[in-house]
Chains A and B, each alone.
Chain A
Amino acid sequence: MNLKTPRWRHAANGAALVAILSAAAIVLHTTPDRDLQQSPISVPGSLGEPATGRNIRATVHSVAVTEAVTAGTGWAGGTPGVWVVVNLSVEAVETDEMAILGTALLRVGDTHFSASTRPGRTATVVGGRLATGIPLTGPLMFEVPADVASSTSAADATLEFAISSDPRVDSLLVVPVDLGDLPVQESLDVDVPEWGAR
């Protein structure tokens, strides 16, 4: 019979199949995963300069490492580690509805620390209600192990701020700080949060 499929057709079918599978593999392995699709939108900032996101503007005025800290409320908690004390101005940009400083993290290498709530609601700006255009200026305290400041990744530490406790698909202000460069103070007194820029 003369109806036999020629060999080159088999080869072409095989090649087409390989091409389709390769294309599918490329699509499969390069599609952004859920973490990437929902990742926060990073807004890089720098020490002393305001960084502005969708509904949050923050300025990190100073960063200090201290063995003991006393809040403006009189709170003085002990820790086997050290405190990283940040002075921060933070305000809402668009609306003060649902505007609280919900995410305030210190990221050192793979590890991240949340701003301590131990001093109480009135002593630091974490969880504080923000006003549109009127900065809330006050301290943030991070309780970290004593060896963090001397670790190799301390130079690349970052402070991260967002308007909600769930920072996905919204602005995340990322301010690099060099913890390794800071002297460890014996004690530090800070003020209670106040309205207005420093």
Chain B
Amino acid sequence: MTNRGTPRERLSWRAGSRRLFDKLPTPWLISGITAVLLAFSAVFGGLDDAPVQAAPVIEPGATHVGAELTVTVSEALLIDAFPEQLLVPEEGNRLLVVRAVVENTTTGPLRLAAGAADSLRVGRVPGVPGATPPYRILVIDDGSGEVAVQPGVPVELAFIWEVAGDAVAEGDSIQVQLLDRVKISEGELTYGGLYDDPVVTATLDLPLGDVGAGVSE
């Protein structure tokens, strides 16, 4: 197909563009089509940031119905220590306690383990990063530290974090985040479900109280 040596024959406009198209490398073609498609979708807002669905903010004392747990957060407060539960923070630190009534709406007991930030956590507390799991979870009725929430039996729990003594003070507003666990499947080798990262499904803002060394109730 070479016509070297002969004078270059004059091509029609159509034949010239056809030859140019044939010389176009395929990757350029694919990139070009992609760019055209992206530009087309940009016209309709296809390249805009996806809207992030903010978790709804609920009132203190309002009941939040989650996938597994129905939670009613009543108050957040600072306390020096719970010596009867052998729960004494380091020198200079204090305990931040979030009180909540938790009801299990599944058909089996749910263990709420301290050290797992998958049911309730706090935000906007200096020195306590967002996903810090509670240091301890106690049943308020008897101070029991092993919490298995039985289905259909509401129980009032204290979720406890250790904070620096000067990090927060009475009257400060903190955020409480309520989370749902996302079940992936039943375990393949292990017994029980496998869970993905928990997601925040509601938040609430609470003013911190301070009960000093503690209250008797």
Contacts and interface: CB of A to CB of B under 8 A. Distances in A.
Interface of A: 75-81, 110-114, 116-120, 142-145, 148, 165-166, 168
Interface of B: 107-109, 139, 141-142, 144, 146, 148, 150-155, 191
B87 to A, nearest CB: 15
A75 B142 contact: yes
- Give the interface SS of chain A, mostly helix, strand, loop or mixed: loop
Contacts of A114: 108-109, 148, 150
Counting from the closest, the 7 A-B pairs by CB-CB distance are: A145-B152, A166-B191, A77-B142, A118-B144, A114-B109, A117-B146, A81-B153
A137 B139 CA distance: 27
Contacts of B151: 111-113, 145
B157 to A, nearest CB: 12
Given A77-B141, A77-B144, A118-B142, A168 B152 contact: no
Contacts of B141: 77-79
Contact of A118 (B146, B152, B154, B191): B146
Contact of B150 (A76, A78, A116, A165): A116
A81 B142 contact: no
A145 B109 CA distance: 12
B152 A116 contact: no
A110 B142 CA distance: 29
A110 B105 CA distance: 12
Nearest to A127: B146
Contacts of B154: 80
Contacts of A117: 144, 146, 148
Contact of A144 (B107, B139, B152): B152
Contacts of B109: 112-114
Contact of A148 (B142, B146, B148, B152): B152
